[in-house]
Amino acid sequence: MEIVILRLGHRPERDKRITTHVGLVGRALGAKGMLLASSDKGIERSINEVTQRWGGGFFVQTGVKWSDELKRWKQEGGKVCHLTMYGENILDVIDEIRAEAKRDKTRIMVIVGAEKVPYSVYDAADWNIAVSSQPHSEVAALALFLDYLQRGKELKTKFEHAKMEIVPKRRGKEVIRNVNGK
């Protein structure tokens, strides 16, 4: 399953840290990349540095025109999941999304907004999904959605070309350097 995040409404001065966390959570939990509907080379650089050190093939593309990306995604047969407090509860639709993804080996775009999301996004989405109908963090919503979608399998992913890897331990910290990186 290919999962790509489309981050809307990023305000560089206000949302820099949150948008970086959206990308890092997406990377860590199985997304292939993030499209950012704003030009912010700092975010791109920051996430790319993490990917270089910790491995994987996550990409970040900034300055995209979100409406064009959304339209192209749909034209190429991809499905769109928009995370919003106003959607259907995740528990009511996650099985349907999984079944659709498995049946068609569907590419999934996950839209994560920062400020008011245009109605056209709600209209274009195949699923408007609420992790909760209460105010919450878009980072938490993305993490829960990716985990539910993949049934936790993403938590055991080994990242290729990692220069660093954490060794799981009950106590203490251990990091292996130059694991399989170049």
Strand residues in the chain grouped as ranges (E):
2-8, 33-36, 59-62, 79-89, 107-113, 127-130, 164-166, 175-177
146 appears as a binding residue in the annotation: no
* Secondary structure of residue 48 in the 3-state scheme: helix
44 appears as a binding residue in the annotation: no
117 appears as a binding residue in the annotation: yes
User: What's the pLDDT tens digit per position in 85-138?
Assistant: 999 999 999 999 999 888 767 899 999 998 789 999 999 999 999 998 888 899
115 appears as a binding residue in the annotation: yes
User: What's the pLDDT tens digit per position in 73-96?
Assistant: 999 999 999 999 999 999 999 999
Strand residues in 20-116 grouped as ranges (E):
33-36, 59-62, 79-89, 107-113
Between residues 14 and 77, the one the model is more confident about:
77
- b (16+ CB within 10 A) / e for 32-45: bbbbbbbebeebbe
116 appears as a binding residue in the annotation: yes
Q: Residue 160 has which token pair? A: 């290729």
The superfamily in CATH containing domain 2-177 is: SPOUT methyltransferase, trefoil knot domain (3.40.1280.10)
Query: Which helix (H) or strand (E) is 121 found in, with range?
Result: helix 119-124
Q: What is the mean pLDDT of the chain?
A: 92
